[in-house]
Structure 1
Amino acid sequence: MAASPLRRVGLIAVHTSPLAQAGTGDAGGLNVYVDNVARGLVARGLHVDVFTRRPSADVPETVRIQVPAARGTIDVHHIEAGPLDADKTELASHLCAFYLGLAAHPVAREAQIFHGHYWMSGWVGARARRKLGTPLVQTFHTLGRQKNATLAPGDRPEPALRLAAESRIAYDADAIIAPTPQESAFLRSEMNARRVHVVEPGVDTTVFNGQADRGWTADLLNPTGEAKVVLFVGRLQPLKAPDTAVETLAALTRDALPGEPPVRLVMVGGPSGNGLGVVDPPALLSLAEQLGVVDNIAFLTPRAHEELAALYRAADVVLMPSHSESFGLVALEAQACGTPVVATDVGGLRHVLGHIDGAPGGGTLVADHHPDKFAAAVRRYLMEPDFAAEAGAAGVRRAQAFSWDATVDKTIAVYEHLHQRHTTRHQMPAGECA
């Protein structure tokens, strides 16, 4: 008996909505991922429900997003779970409320697959799986054990509750989607995960590309036209190490030779979680003042993709001194725009920027998390035009290997295999072993 066709999937994103602007609060690469995958699923004829926590009292219960030229919609359902102003670190106490809201939601039973994003969503999805019988696909986006292994100085380690929950989800999920072979290997060897599929995130090269448009962005990033521009893009939290970016600027300024142009650091992103009071704009400005570079630093609010792409193109180097990255979408977007990237040699950044199949990425990985080491790598791109141009071209080629279409196609393949297996099992005649 043939399995029924896959028609409808439910994406669970407890702690942050795909409607939120990436780079603010808890919104980041996960939001970009969920939004692009959801749109791609709809473009292929599936209906997508996204279940997320209600962030404020004025948002509707359901926001319907029509995907242009597609046959369906993305319905974002807001579920009550704890106080509206609850911090991300407090949400674990309200996951049971979210699960009950999801299980009772009128469209939850229509989902043929649940796909959890982040560990909290996996916790909810695993319980919904038992209650509703809906198979669970899990994407962690970040893993607590990996974050704790490369913790930023002064940052809080991920709690034991998260570590235990991730281990259980990794074992129980019907399928896991990992962004890199490295994370897949870690899940299998260190967390006893089964059924792991590598599906890389993508980049929209119709938006992120090397088209010249250095007009308004050049004026915004570099008002005098004299400075070299180093760009930092991301949430202002210890994990992303924006303080190291400021210290790198200070090292570049301190070691500048006579006649070298000044360097300007532009930071695009908003305060996030445990970064408040530590690496938020006031704290970073205070650090810059102490280091004597406060006049060479500027902050911009998070931008939509079209504007962000223009900022990448107008910069000379993109700096990613993160302590941990599961993948590193910023590095991929910057490479697609032809801008060299200097990043920490950790996690997914090795995959995005490293030599894969003999082809170099468009940037440099720094093994030692020290501002002087980052400054040395950045300086070469700023002062050697041919070297920078070669890296920019390599980055464009590298980015062409990633696309959201490929991400969505591989994700659907995981869904369909799981749905067929699940449906066939439930269609077995009585007395036969599935």
Structure 2
Amino acid sequence: MRIAMISMHTSPLQQPGSGDAGGMNVYVLSTACELARRGVQVDVFTRATRPSQGHVVEVEPGLRVINVVAGPYEGLSKEELPTQLAAFAGGILQFVRCEQLHYDLIHSHYWLSGQVGWLLRDLWQAPLVHTAHTLAAVKNTHRTSNDTPESDARRICEQQLVDNADILVVNTPEETNDLVRHYDAEPEKVAVIAPGADVELFTPGKQRNTELARRNLGIPLHTKVVAFVGRLQEFKGPQVLLKAVAELFRRDPDRDMRVLLCGGPSGAQATVEHYTELARSLGICHRVRFLDPRPAEELVAIFQAADVVAVPSYNESFGLVAIEAQACGTPVIAARVGGLPIAVDDGTTGVLVEDHEPGHWADAIASLLDDDQRRIAMGVAAREHAMQFTWARAAEELEQVYGQALALSVDSCVQRKPEGA
């Protein structure tokens, strides 16, 4: 089986944590790697953003990333990429023609890629599997007052994909409900496949590892640590955590606690300075450390160094950070939104907070930091919970969905075949 994966607006090889790179990058790369290890030939098409990337990158046997030139390398925001859909599709067609390739199936990620996948589906007569990752209607429902609403154009394009894709892959049953409620999707066209984590990389650290991680981060060994890992934008809620921490110090000025925020800005108006200034205005700047985005191999140390990890997002289709943290044996405090109630077992592997009120988040953080026995027990359970979510299992289920899509395509062709032909 040869699969064309399309991830136009962000490369799976890009460092997650800033700009447009995040959980989707991890998802695409991780599932593609596992599919390749299962014998599926995978080509991932993405838009080239610098000439030094090379046209074709051999990631591992059976997996290539093809950087397609479509528009200028730099200076295009995600909102401007629709102007390059034709150029991007043309670049894919040129590559396929030159290489004399045939793809059995197309798997598009995000609505921009879906529009290209929809075109290629009809040109190649290959089934289209689509994963939205986020939906305009859902983001607009949960956005903060400072967030720019998603456009009607995106909403219309997503509706077209729901109507025309052969199978829609989602992370949770909640996403199925979102597709049905907001886009009138047919439930039988939706396949639920939970993402995973690299549970061999993300593992609990022995005491020596934890001490080393803290020493390298410049954190005292006996200080309680709360970590946030993700893009610095209102939608991800770093401001909620900072205000909650300020409330904790208001209640107890002598509390021995540090906060780590690991990630880069995302969005036209987002800057690290905005959040450092917020910490300064709250009087907690000396308690907070901002860390640049880093590869998964280095994130492990942050998860191991933390006593708890906070995920105060306003919505998450699943919440990969929550699973990765729990795989390291670290409990998670998360908002009860989107897929996070599945990623976090409330009361067993962490705590779910009903809203984004800083006082309620302060209560939740204190409930774990001040109860060592409960927090340690949650850490043990967290690892066991995370072991249910692996990329190998996700890839196995994806391959089954691909088989279903191919079977549906064959049936459709048979039904369209003229009588007597």
User: Which TM-score band applies after superposition, normalised by the shorter structure?
Assistant: over 0.9
The 3-state SS of whatever aligns with 1:58 is helix
* Aligned residue among 156, 159, 162 for 2:154: 162
Distance 1:380 1:301 in 2: 29
Q: Which runs of 5+ in 1 are unaligned?
A: 1-6, 67-71
CA contact (8 A) 1:236 1:275 kept: no
Distance 1:257 1:242 in 2: 21
1:74 is aligned to 63
1:404 is aligned to 391
2:90 is aligned to 100
Distance apart, 1:292 and its partner CA: 0.7
Query: CA 1:313–1:275 in structure 2 vs 1: closer, same or farther (change >3 Å)?
Result: farther
Q: Which runs of 5+ in 2 are unaligned?
A: none
Distance 2:101 2:137 in 1: 33
**Counterpart AA for 1:236:** L
CA contact (8 A) 1:249 1:264 kept: no
The 3-state SS of whatever aligns with 2:212 is helix
TM-score, structure 1 normalization: 0.91
CA contact (8 A) 1:115 1:125 kept: yes
CA contact (8 A) 2:111 2:132 kept: yes
Deviations 1:301-341 (A, max 9, x none): 22222221221011011011111111100011111111111
2:16 is the counterpart of 1:25:
no
* Aligned residue among 122, 132, 150 for 1:140: 132
Residues 250-261 of structure 1 mapped to structure 2, 5 A cutoff: 250-256=246-252, 260=255
Distance 1:389 1:300 in 2: 26
2:347 is the counterpart of 1:351:
no
Distance 1:23 1:430 in 2: 49
TM-score, structure 2 normalization: 0.93
Equivalent pairs counted in the alignment come to 414
Distance 2:113 2:100 in 1: 14
Residues 337-348 of structure 1 mapped to structure 2, 5 A cutoff: 337-348=328-339
Distance 2:300 2:350 in 1: 17
* Aligned residue among 107, 110, 128 for 2:120: 128
Distance apart, 1:364 and its partner CA: 1.0
**Counterpart AA for 1:232:** F
The 3-state SS of whatever aligns with 2:57 is strand
1:204 is aligned to 198
Distance apart, 1:416 and its partner CA: 1.1
Distance 1:38 1:208 in 2: 19
Deviations 1:5-59 (A, max 9, x none): xx20011000100111111321110011011111111101111100000111222
CA contact (8 A) 1:221 1:229 kept: no
CA contact (8 A) 1:10 1:108 kept: no
* Aligned residue among 321, 325, 342 for 1:330: 321
Residues 238-387 of structure 1 mapped to structure 2, 5 A cutoff: 238-256=234-252, 260=255, 262-276=256-270, 280-354=271-345, 361-387=348-374
Distance 1:429 1:307 in 2: 53
Distance apart, 1:345 and its partner CA: 1.1
Query: CA 1:108–1:127 in structure 2 vs 1: closer, same or farther (change >3 Å)?
Result: farther
Query: CA 1:153–1:366 in structure 2 vs 1: closer, same or farther (change >3 Å)?
Result: same
Distance apart, 1:271 and its partner CA: 1.5
Distance 1:281 1:428 in 2: 57
1:3 is aligned to none
Distance 1:377 1:79 in 2: 46
Distance 2:417 2:288 in 1: 70
* Aligned residue among 235, 247, 261 for 2:231: 235
**Counterpart AA for 1:247:** K
Distance 2:141 2:165 in 1: 24
Distance 2:145 2:308 in 1: 25
Query: CA 1:339–1:401 in structure 2 vs 1: closer, same or farther (change >3 Å)?
Result: same
The 3-state SS of whatever aligns with 1:188 is helix
Identity %: 37
CA contact (8 A) 2:37 2:62 kept: no
Distance apart, 1:284 and its partner CA: 1.0
Query: CA 1:432–1:411 in structure 2 vs 1: closer, same or farther (change >3 Å)?
Result: farther
